[in-house]
Structure 1
Amino acid sequence: MDGPFLRADPGLGLEAPAAGTRIEHLVGGEATLPRMLADIRTVAANHREPFVYLAGWNCENDLPVPASSGRTDNLGEALRFAAGRGAQIRLLLWAGALDQASLRRFPPPVRKILLDLAARWSPTRAHNLATEALVKKLRSAGDDAWCHIDDAHLFAGSHHQKLLIVGSKERFVAYVGGIEFSTDRLYATDAAGKRIPGAPLFDVTLRVSGPGADSLLRTFTSRWSATVPPPPVPLAPLPVLRGLGAPPSPATGSLTSQVTHTYAPGFPYRAKIQTSARAIASAIRSAKQYFYMEDQYYSGTEELTNAIKDALRADKDVWGVVVIANEASVGDLPDLAYRRRLMLTPLVAAFPGRFYVFERKGDDGTNTGRTAYVHSKLTIVDDVTAVVGSVNSSYRSWTHDTEVMLTVHDPRGAGPVNPPDWRPIRGLRAEIWRRHLGAPAATLGDPALLRRWWLDVWIRARAAHVAPSAVFVPAKPAFGPLSDWVWTNFLDPRVP
């Protein structure tokens, strides 16, 4: 099997790797959200039987998005436009609510902690319910529009997939990554003018066409069919949905791809599905030169720790770099500093000069300025493999919630080191490292040259938009004697 792919397993919804996928990397909400809206409007205006399928954790349909015309657009207006031209609209959104029946089982002190933490989700719930109301209004006007608010998940869980698939029978594209219609991807303040630390967030999404888009479409439609209660709500009769024997979309690129998932047992499928965790670990273990990761939390799992150890022990010349959200900007996960150190301090100590962990600095050089909060969920290996999607490096994302990842691999190899001849995965990595390191274009194509840059930043001999993480600065657990219970059962729940 070419690349770090997993063996197909239909019982887990895991398809075989498929050749011919094309990706376009989009860094930041300013690049991604206008492109999404333009695709919705273009397809609806120019193609027969268009459709728009969206799965999201947080969906602000009225978020003002700067458009190329100099005006602003928003998802709600784009959906109205598409629906008015006969598009089939389907949205899967998280309910954003805590299971009250389960909550009542806990003693009052624990219940208070959990309710205080769950209050952080309330804006998400309000946004998603407002989007549901918009879609209901479209349906009441006779449009083919449906939105399902999904609250079927394990206690303290969420539906975290971020997918947009838009197109028609003739062609369609898919978006997968960390970016969705959320204020903090575009603006430094919320609607009330309150500052959002680290925003706009540093984030990455891929725009995908070809067989990889087919698989992402099947992810959405399979979950829709398994989740939406009777009576059935129809989906577009697209050829790629007619079974495994259907011909794939024409090859549009040179990459081989595979889509993986996280689903808790029973939500919505009978078996637990943890193929995304395996895909990330497989990519890291495939490293021959380096592996690179970006992550929002990076509190880790035992499997992730073992994959890093295996890669670094297998070859003394392999090295790894991780860039994570600045702790000063992360206010949504108490106890993160302590949990990060439990994982990272031993790893950094065990592999000096070969495993580096950095926190992003804001564009203004501060710990809470623009882009200090890294939200990407990204692994790149040797400039030939990338894994991008919604999965954080935590037990929650690897085992418990609803997630999706796309692995892409270039079977031709890393390719030329000089721009503009970079192959897709090298181009993605170079663009991200340019933003973090500020290195000149002449050096960006060769990871070996930039290894010294990362070392210089680590020893503080060079300035950059990243700084060494404080993994050797002690941190205390946030909830005293209850910390382990709150972390394991609520903040970072896990499924064995």
Structure 2
Amino acid sequence: MTDTHSITGTDTLARATLQDHLADPFMQVVAWPGRRIDRPLLGGDVVIRQPLGGGRRSFILTAPLEIGAREAGAIDVEALAAGRPGTVAISLCGPDRLLHADLTVIRPLGEAEQDISAVPPGTPAARPTIRTGSRGPAVIDAQQRLNQVHAERAARGERGLDDCPLATDGIFGAHTRAATVSFQRIAFPGLASEWDGIIGPRTWSALLTYTARRPPRPIPGVGQVDPSRWGTILRPLATGRTVLRSGNAVAALIDGNATFNAMAADMGATNGERDFIYLLGWDNFDTFPLGAASSFRDIYTAAAGRGVEVAAMLWDQFGIVTAADRSATQVVSHINALTGGKAIKDDLTTNHTTASTVRLAVAAALVGMHPRLISVILRIIEPDIARLGGSHHQKVLVVKRGEVLVGYCGGIDMNPNRVRVVDPDTGQPHHDTHCRIVGPSAHDLLSTFVSRWRHHPGSSRFGALRGETAGVPAAIASPGVNDAPFGGPLSVMIARTFNPVHAAPPLIVAERGIKAALLAAIGNARRFIYCEDQYLLDLDTARALIAAVPRLSHVTILIPGNPITDVPFGKEYRRDFVGLIDAALSGADRAKLGVFQLTTSQSAPTFGDHTYVHSKSWVFDDELAVIGTANCNRRSYSFDSEVDAFIFEDNRVEGDARQTFAQRYRMALWQHHLAVPGSSVVDGVASARLWRAAARPPSARVIEFDHRLPTGVTSLAGLRQAVMDRGAARLRDIIDPMV
């Protein structure tokens, strides 16, 4: 379970409680209800009216007010949003200068006043007392530490903390309080007076003690892996829509040709009125050859002619004119023209609503009224600005051919840039990964499509899908080598990020399973972590790695180079990510972290075939592999629609010397990047040295990624970087939003 924080329909300021404002590091309460107004009020201050038994309203003062003034000119935000005149005069106080009891006045802090520091320093005294309603970095710190206590207890087979793992969202809600009380019962047995759900000095001290760095846990056997242990770790997270299923055959697919050839074979094997082909897509182009086969359009068109049901949901980029959006429109039109074809362009997300559009229009009108209003307005409409980049990012193909249900997920879009160069000097074809699942967990990928389909009101005109009545396939005891080239059977947990506008439990609900599972995996890694990611931005993940590195042999991360990474301020945000870890670790531990890019020159990098890392994948201890669509950023973990597969063996016995699925997957990736034989990278600890400069083979296509940003030797260069830093800080919540 996770703390929830959903605000829709009116502006954030109007919905916030007084306790929220007290705890919000970006806001200051300057006039309290029923108390004397003892300071001047400023243009841009926000008046919250919360009458007894009524709804809240917010007003923005349009001019400064001296002490003693009883009325103020203001903008009624809700009235403007509803299309009514917004200029009003509001009564603030009587002759006694006491602010009316239903009013509170708050003020957005200037940049120099804001407390936006990272995790607070290490002493309990430096950490503020936090409780229900608190927000900010200290809450994130506490949530991470509570999750760490929970994960370590679960790994030992002990009862974890209530309501954990928590979403590390910096909001002290009901679930954080429940976890706090649960921890206090452990830390202060018999002292019921300490079980108050408030994290003050004593609870901070206990929490810091319990989460202090510990030596590595003993590993059973010499060099032996134990993938079965991940069932105990992940099973508590498998609730509701997130299901852990055993008996699957899984193939890890590296890059476009292997993936598209497999997809083409499965789609080409469909036949008849019980089969179907379902696609969830982000980018979608369907006329290029799939590997060595015909184009996707040729294949699904032929399948529809055989009576196969073809359905697709492609991300609608809400009017932004791009080649991908034009192609999606064409694909949807073509599918809907087929016999039995069903296709939708989908832009329905929690932040793409009529209310958002109205607020953006209102904000545009307000900005010109007074310069001081700009910061307030940005605070109000921040979620609406963020929604301009919100997307359905899931890349799922589900095929039923006869009695076999097959599901695909991963980072590979239906895009020709996975098999050939479309834009030169951008690292194309992309390096990317996908997985193919046959067995019970293929049904969870089918369910991902069905829930999105039912969620969209436009789907009702097509009638029911064949897949809506499909049952969960039986477990596979002995998968064949074609379906499971890395061995099996395997356990798979499909986790998602999804933000429905209209929830309809149990199928259509808000989901935040990916981040919680990844943080649990980081917290339980014992030997090493390997990651491939397109962005590497989420600072919660960085903090989790800080706690993990001291007990690990190495953390090795592969990302695309800054010049070809397609996110605004990506180099600044990556600097923050890696720099945060560097600053927190000792020299010996710092050397365990290696971040790399696919190129051969630090000073003049060139980006040829398969050097843009679009893969979103993790390997933990050669025991657990994660393949999916979620990048390491807040957007993927809370805002966009994503899907990840967590894959491991659950049937290993002591002394089993076979290579695991995760191990063989990692070996294939390292062979790909280092250009060495598989025998050189069997040991995921010892062979990590091949990534480092001192032992790197001449065949390797990797080089260290330097997160430091040189500003040059001139004052102008330094000024330019300062401007970029300021922009990155200001726009982080828009570029990388969190619901």
Normalised by the size of structure 1, how large is the TM-score? 0.82
For 1:235-254, what aligned pairs fall within 5 Å after superposition?
A: 235-236=465-466, 240-241=470-471, 248=474, 250-251=476-477, 252=479, 253-254=488-489
Contact persistence 1:178–1:203 (CA under 8 A) = yes
Change (3 A) 1:271 1:48: closer
Distance in 2 separating the partners of 1:425 and 1:250 = 19
1:42 aligns to 2:269 (yes or no):
yes
Question: What does residue 89 of structure 2 align with?
Answer: none
Equivalent runs, 1:327-476 vs 2, <5 Å: 327-330=562-565, 332-349=566-583, 350=585, 351-361=589-599, 367-412=606-651, 422-456=659-693, 464-474=700-710, 476=721
Give the C-alpha shift of residue 168 in structure 1.
Answer: 3.5
Q: Does 1:7 align with 2:236?
A: yes
Shift of 1:327: 1.7
- Aligned counterpart in structure 2 of residue 222 of structure 1, from 444, 447, 451: 451
Asked if residue 188 in structure 1 is aligned to residue 421 in structure 2, the reply is: yes
Deviations 1:286-306 (Å, cap 9, x if unpaired)? Answer: 21111110001111232x123
Q: Which residue of 2 aligns with 1:488?
A: 733
CA distance in structure 2 between the partners assigned to 1:165 and 1:307 by the alignment: 34
Q: Is the 8 A contact 1:390 1:405 kept in 2?
A: yes
Find the partner of 2:494 among 259, 268, 276: 259
**In 1, Cα distance between equivalents of 2:514 and 2:664:** 23
Displacement of 1:264 in angstroms is 2.6
The answer to whether residue 344 in structure 2 is matched with residue 148 in structure 1 is: yes
* d(CA) in 2 for partners of 1:470, 1:479: 18
Correspondence for 2:151: none
2:289 to 58, 61, 64: 64
Q: Which amino acid aligns with 2:709?
A: V
- Alpha carbons of structure 1 residues 414 and 159: separation in structure 2 relative to 1, 3 Å: farther
Cα deviation, residue 282, structure 1? 1.6
In structure 2, how many angstroms separate the alpha carbons of the residues matched to 1:454 and 1:362?
12
| Matched ranges for 1:58-207 at <5 A | 58-67=283-292, 73-97=294-318, 122-138=322-338, 143-153=339-349, 154=351, 155=387, 156-168=389-401, 170-189=403-422, 194-195=423-424, 197-207=426-436
Q: Which stretch of the first structure deviates more once superposed, 317-326 or 196-205? A: 317-326
Using the TM superposition, give the Cα deviation of residue 455 of structure 1 relative to its aligned residue in structure 2, in angstroms: 3.0
Aligned CA RMSD, in angstroms, stands at 2.8
> Which of 528, 531, 538 is residue 293 of structure 1 equivalent to?
531
Deviation of 1:225 (Å): 1.5
1:87-120 CA distance string (max 9 Å, x none): 011101100126xxxxxxxxxxxxxxxxxxx66x
- Does the 8 Å contact 2:522/2:544 carry over to 1? yes
Deviation of the 1:348 alpha carbon: 3.6
Q: Which letter maps to 2:581?
A: L
Post-superposition shift, 1:447? Answer: 1.0
- Cα distance in 1 for partners of 2:679, 2:337 equals 53
Provide the residue aligned with 1:308 in structure 2: 545
2: distance between equivalents of 1:250 and 1:395?
Answer: 36
Letter of the 1:492 partner, please give it.
D
SS of the residue 1:79 aligns to: helix
Q: Does 1:26 align with 2:265?
A: no
Cα distance in 1 for residues equivalent to 2:282 and 2:325 = 9
3-state DSSP class of the match of 1:165? strand
1:362 and 1:371 in contact (8 A); partners too: no
Distance (Å, rounded) in 2 between the aligned partners of 1:341 and 1:487: 13
Q: Which residue of 2 aligns with 1:234?
A: 464
Structure 1 residue runs of 5 or longer lacking an equivalent are 99-117
Q: Describe the SS at the equivalent of 2:638.
A: helix
Aligned length: 445
| Paired letter, 2:627 | V
The code of the aligned residue for 2:492 comes to S
Q: Displacement of 1:441 after TM fit? A: 2.2
TM-score relative to the length of structure 2: 0.56
Q: Aligned partners of 2:722 and 2:396: how far apart in 1?
A: 35
Q: Is the 8 A contact 1:175 1:206 kept in 2?
A: yes
State the secondary structure of the residue aligned to 2:270: helix
Change (3 A) 1:414 1:361: farther
Q: Is the 8 A contact 2:276 2:467 kept in 1?
A: no
| Alignment match, 1:322 | 557
| Aligned AA (2:331) | T
Letter in 1 for 2:489: S
What's the secondary structure of 2:497's corresponding residue?
strand
Structure with greater contact order relative to length (CA < 8 Å, sep ≥ 6): 1
Name the SS of the counterpart of 1:73 in structure 2. coil
Any idea what the Cα deviations from partners look like across 1:321-367, whole Å, max 9, x if unmatched? Answer: 1000122222x21210111001112314523221111112289x953
Distance 1:347 1:359, change over 3 A: same
3-state secondary structure, aligned to 1:167: strand
